[in-house]
C-alpha cells in the first residue's frame, strides 16, 4: 500500500464492534478451515502449523503510525485474511497493543487451536475472544467448515469449553447458519445444547450477509434467524446491521493519494458496499466511487449483488 500499511485495515464499521481496526497476522489465505461461507475467499494454505507468518515488528510499526495519523477506534481486532492464532506470536501483539493504548483488544478466531494450552494463554491477553460453533458432530463439522483433515470435532469442542473456563474477559460465540446445511431447528437445537455447555457471555447468530466464497451458499432469512435465536442461552443476537460507533471524534479522512491502496487493503479482507467504504475512509462517496471505477476497469476488484445490495470484492 502506498501509505505503508500492509497488515492493518480499516477501521471498518463492524456489526458487533463498532469502528474496528483490523490487524491481519497471516497472509492470504492461511487458515485451518476452508469454510464455503467465508467472505474472504477460498483457503489457499490450509494448515495447523503455527509460525511467525508476518513480522511482529512490522505490525507494531504500522500500528504506531496509525496511532499518530488517526488513533480512534472502538476496538482493535486480530482478524483478516485467515486464522490469527496460527501466528506464533499473536499473544505478543496483544501485549504490545495493551502497552500502547486503552482501546479494547479483540481476538476473532475460529477456535480450532484452543485445545492448545499455549494458544489459550496467548488468547487470554485479549479483552474479548470470539470462537465459532456451527456444528454438533464430526460430519456436520466437515460439512460446515471443511476443516483441516487432522481436526476432530470433539477436540475442537473441548478446546472451546476450556478456553471459556480459563478466560477472564468476555467470551463470545458466533453461530453461522447456512440454508439447507445447518439451519434445521433440530440441528440448531444440537448446536444450542453444546453452546450451553460452553456458557458464553454473548452469542451472535449470523448468516451469509456478505458474498461467500462458494456461490451455492445461501443465506438464512432474517425471519428464520429471529425464530431460532431464542433456542440459545443467552438468547442469540442477530448480526444484521452495524451498531453505532462509541468512538469520540470524527473520522479522519484518508488522503486522496492513499485512498486506492487503503480501499484495496480493506476489500481484500472485508467485502464492502460503497457506503461502507465512504464511511470507513471518511471520504466523499463520489471520490470513492471514482477510485473503485478505476480498480474495476483494471480488473483489480469485482462486484457481487447479494440480496439486493452491491458489494465490492477483491479479484
CATH of the domain at 273: 1.10.10.10
What tens digit of pLDDT does each residue of 18-61 get? Answer: 889 999 999 989 999 999 998 888 899 999 999 999 999 999 99
Cα separation, 5 vs 3, in Å, equals 6
State percent of the chain over pLDDT 90. 63
Question: Which of 29-43, 60-74, 127-141, 264-278 has the weakest average pLDDT?
Answer: 264-278
Over residues 232-244, the mean pLDDT reads 76
State which of 252, 287, 302 marks the end of a domain: 252
Count up the domains in the chain and report the number. 2
Name every residue whose Cβ is closer than 8 Å to that of residue 71 and which is 6 or more positions away in sequence: 101
Name every residue whose Cβ is closer than 8 Å to that of residue 188 and which is 6 or more positions away in sequence: 175, 177, 182, 228, 231
CB 44 within 8 A of CB 32: no
Reduce the DSSP state of residue 46 to 3 states and report it.
strand
Indicate if 243 and 299 belong to the same structural domain: no
Name every residue whose Cβ is closer than 8 Å to that of residue 23 and which is 6 or more positions away in sequence: 7, 8, 59, 63, 76, 77, 78, 79, 80, 93, 97
Indicate if 245 and 312 belong to the same structural domain: no
Across 238-273, b (16+ Cβ under 10 Å) vs e yields bbeebeebebeeebeebeeebbbbbbbbbbbbbbbe
Name every residue whose Cβ is closer than 8 Å to that of residue 253 and which is 6 or more positions away in sequence: 281, 282, 283
Indicate if 39 and 166 belong to the same structural domain: yes
Reduce the DSSP state of residue 108 to 3 states and report it.
strand
| pLDDT of 133 higher than 80 | yes
Q: Is residue 314 situated within a structural domain?
A: yes
| pLDDT of 247 higher than 60 | no
Supply the range of the domain harboring residue 125: 8-252
| pLDDT of 160 higher than 90 | yes
- pTM for this prediction: 0.84
What tens digit of pLDDT does each residue of 282-315 get? Answer: 788 888 888 888 888 888 888 877 767 788 877 7
State percent of the chain over pLDDT 70. 94
User: What is the pLDDT, as a whole number, of residue 263?
Assistant: 84
Indicate if 278 and 176 belong to the same structural domain: no
CATH of the domain at 68: 3.20.20.70
The confidence band for 240, taking pLDDT boundaries of 50, 70 and 90, is: low
User: What is the pLDDT, as a whole number, of residue 2?
Assistant: 40
Handedness of CA 269, 274, 275, 281 (dihedral sign): positive
Cα separation, 177 vs 207, in Å, equals 5
The confidence band for 138, taking pLDDT boundaries of 50, 70 and 90, is: very high
Indicate if 64 and 192 belong to the same structural domain: yes
Amino acid at each position: 500500500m502506498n501509505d505503508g500499511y500492509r497488515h492493518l485495515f480499516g477501521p471498518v464499521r463492524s456489526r458487533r464492534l463498532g469502528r474496528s481496526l483490523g490487524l491481519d497476522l497471516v497472509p492470504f489465505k492461511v487458515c485451518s478451515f476452508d469454510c464455503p461461507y467465508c467472505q474472504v475467499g477460498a483457503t489457499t494454505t490450509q494448515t495447523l502449523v503455527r509460525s511467525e507468518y508476518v513480522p511482529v515488528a512490522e505490525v507494531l510499526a504500522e500500528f504506531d503510525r496509525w496511532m499518530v495519523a488517526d488513533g480512534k477506534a472502538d476496538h482493535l481486532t486480530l482478524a483478516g485474511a485467515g486464522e490469527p492464532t496460527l501466528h506464533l506470536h499473536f499473544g505478543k501483539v496483544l501485549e504490545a497493543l495493551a502497552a500502547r493504548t486503552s482501546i479494547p483488544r479483540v481476538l476473532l478466531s475460529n477456535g480450532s487451536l484452543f485445545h492448545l494450552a499455549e494458544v489459550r494463554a496467548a488468547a487470554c491477553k485479549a479483552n474479548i475472544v470470539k470462537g465459532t460453533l456451527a456444528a454438533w458432530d464430526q460430519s456436520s463439522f466437515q460439512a460446515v467448515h471443511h476443516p483441516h483433515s487432522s481436526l476432530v470435532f470433539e477436540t475442537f469442542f473441548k478446546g472451546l469449553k476450556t478456553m471459556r473456563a480459563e478466560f477472564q474477559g468476555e467470551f463470545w460465540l458466533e453461530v453461522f447458519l447456512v440454508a439447507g446445511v445447518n439451519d434445521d431447528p433440530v440441528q440448531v437445537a444440537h448446536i444450542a445444547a453444546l453452546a450451553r455447555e460452553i456458557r458464553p457471555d454473548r452469542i451472535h447468530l449470523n448468516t451469509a450477509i456478505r458474498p461467500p466464497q462458494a456461490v451455492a451458499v445461501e443465506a438464512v432469512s432474517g425471519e428464520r434467524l429471529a425464530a431460532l435465536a431464542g433456542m440459545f442461552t443467552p438468547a442469540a443476537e442477530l448480526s444484521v446491521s452495524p451498531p453505532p460507533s462509541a468512538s469520540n471524534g470524527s473520522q479522519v479522512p484518508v488522503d486522496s493519494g492513499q485512498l486506492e491502496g487503503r480501499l484495496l487493503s480493506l476489500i481484500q479482507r472485508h467485502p464492502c458496499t460503497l457506503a461502507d467504504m465512504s464511511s470507513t475512509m471518511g471520504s466523499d462517496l463520489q471520490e470513492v466511487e471514482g477510485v473503485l471505477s478505476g480498480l474495476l476497469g483494471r480488473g483489480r476488484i469485482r462486484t457481487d449483488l447479494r440480496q439486493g445490495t452491491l458489494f465490492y470484492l477483491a479479484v
